[in-house]
């Protein structure tokens, strides 16, 4: 069964802490994405990556950075956590070629609900 695994389901961190959210996929996908989801706002793209060591800013990259040292792993880093970064964080992966992407588009991890206090 294909899978995207996020390291933590729930996380509570203090303001100012450096926070790492890890995401691993076992489908050999090129593309990986980090989203945050807040009530009424839908999914907002933070960063994405089309290949190892490659990253692109999404719609809301401020306060975040990412790392993709291996194809299967995409990490989201909150450099100095703030209360307005309290949210549900979702990692997703997809395959680039149309014939594979049509099978399911993106596959999501189960999400990390981060609370910054």
- How far apart, in whole angstroms, are the C-alpha atoms of residue 57 and residue 116? 23
CB of 28 to another protein, least distance (A): 16
Supply φ then ψ for residue 101, to 5 degrees. Answer: -65, -25
Binding of residue 68 to another protein (CB under 8 A)? no
> Which residue, 16 or 52, is less far from another protein as judged by CB?
52
75 within 8 A of 89, measured Cβ to Cβ: no
Quick one: which of 12, 54, 82, 96 contacts another protein (CB under 8 A)?
96
Q: 3-state DSSP call for residue 82?
A: coil
Q: Check residue 99 for interaction with another protein (CB under 8 A).
A: no
Contact pick of 48, 81, 85, 93 for another protein (by CB under 8 A): 48
Question: Any contact of residue 12 with another protein (CB under 8 A)?
Answer: no
Whole-number minimum distance, CB 59 to another protein, in Å?
Answer: 10
* Dihedral sign for Cα atoms in the order 81, 57, 69, 7: positive
Q: Judge whether 80 and 17 are in contact, CB under 8 Å.
A: yes
Residues that bind another protein (CB under 8 A): 31, 35, 40-45, 48, 88, 90, 94, 96, 98, 101-111, 113
């Amino acid at each position: 069964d294909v899978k995207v695994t996020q390291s933590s389901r729930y996380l509570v961190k203090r303001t100012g802490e450096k926070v790492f959210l890890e995401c691993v996929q076992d489908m050999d996908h090129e593309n990986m994405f980090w989203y945050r989801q807040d009530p009424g706002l839908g999914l907002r793209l933070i960063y994405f990556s089309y290949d190892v060591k490659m990253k692109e800013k999404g719609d809301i990259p401020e306060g975040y950075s990412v790392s993709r040292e291996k194809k299967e792993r995409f990490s989201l880093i909150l450099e100095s956590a703030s209360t307005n970064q309290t949210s549900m964080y979702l990692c997703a992966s997809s395959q680039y070629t149309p014939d594979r992407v049509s099978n399911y588009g993106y596959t999501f991890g189960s999400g990390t609900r981060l609370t910054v206090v």
